[in-house]
Amino acid sequence: MIIVLIGYMASGKTSLGKKLAEKLNYDFIDLDDFIEEKEKSSVSEVFKTKGEIYFRKQESFYLKELLKDNSNIILSVGGGTPCYSNNMELILNADDVTSIYLKASISTLASKLIKKKAKRPLIAHIETEEAMEEFIGKHLFERIPFYSQAEIKVIVDNKTKDDIVEDIILELF
C-alpha cells in the first residue's frame, strides 16, 4: 500500500511521514527529495533555472512513477502537488493508494513557518506572524478544495507527533 500525505507547508508531512513509516515498517519517500535526486538539482534551483511549469510537469511525472510502485511506501508530497496537473485525481484513482490530509489551523502553520521562513523561498519575505497568517489564509483558500478530497483527514493541531501517528494508524486499519 502507498499512503500519500498531503497538506500545507509545515503541517508535518515529512516528520510524521518518517515516524509513520518507521512504525509501519514502510519505506519513506519525500517527493521533493525524489525529484532532486532524479533531476540532480535542488527544487529551488529547478524553479530558478527551468521555471515552475517545468517543475510541475516533472513533479507530476515522478508522482505517477511512484504511484505505480507495489511497495509499502509513505509518500510525502509538496504542499502544491495536489493542486497541479490533475495530481489529486491521480492520487485518488491509483490502485492501493490511500491519501491523508494533515489538517492544521492557520495559526498553527503560521507559528511554525515564521520560525522556518529562511529555508522556504516562497515565504522568506514575510516579516510578521500576522502577515504570515494572511498569506497562509489566502493560499489555503485556493488549496483546500484539493486537500479536502483526501480519503482521510487528520487534525494535527495541539497534538504530539506520536498522537498524530496513532490517529493515522487508527484511521487506516
- For 36-91, the pLDDT digits (tens) are 999 999 988 888 899 889 999 999 999 999 999 889 999 999 999 999 999 999 99
* 71 annotated among ligand-binding-site residues: no
Residue 21 CA from chain centroid, whole number: 15
Instruction: Specify the DSSP class assigned to residue 126.
Output: -
The answer on whether 108 is annotated among ligand-binding residues is no
95 in a labelled binding site:
no
Question: Is 41 annotated among the ligand-binding residues?
Answer: no
| Average pLDDT, integer, range 7-35 | 96
**Cβ neighbours of residue 54 under 8 Å, at least 6 residues apart?**
46
* Whole-number pLDDT of residue 137: 96
In Å, how far are 50, 105, 119, 139 from 125, measured between CA atoms? 22, 21, 11, 15
User: How is 64-122 classified by DSSP, letter by letter?
Assistant: HHHHT--S-EEEE--TTGGGSTTHHHHHHHSTTEEEEEEE--HHHHHHHHHHHGGG-TT
CA distance 109 to 56: 24
Question: Which cell is 36 given?
Answer: 532532486
Domain ranges of the chain: 2-104+151-157
Does 15 count as an annotated binding residue? yes
| Confidence (pLDDT) at 43 | 86
166 by Cβ neighbours in 10 Å (0-12 / 13-18 / 19+) ranks as middle
Residue 78 annotated as part of some ligand binding site:
no
3-state DSSP assignment of residue 5: strand
Whole-number pLDDT of residue 122: 78
91-126 residue pLDDT tens? 999 999 999 999 999 999 999 998 887 777 778 889
Superfamily of domain 2-104+151-157: P-loop containing nucleotide triphosphate hydrolases (3.40.50.300)
- Supply the pLDDT for residue 134: 96
Residue 168 has what pLDDT? Answer: 97
For 131-151, what is each residue's pLDDT tens digit?
A: 999 999 999 999 999 999 999
pLDDT band at 8 (very low <50, low <70, confident <90, very high): very high
Q: Give the CB-side neighbour count of residue 82, counting CA atoms within 13 A.
A: 28
- Does the annotation flag 110 for ligand binding? no
Q: What is the mean pLDDT of residues 13-21?
A: 97
**Whole-prediction pTM:** 0.94
| Closest to 105 in 3D by CA, of 128, 74, 132 | 132
Residue 14 counted as an annotated binding residue: yes
Amino acid identity for residue 126 in this structure: I
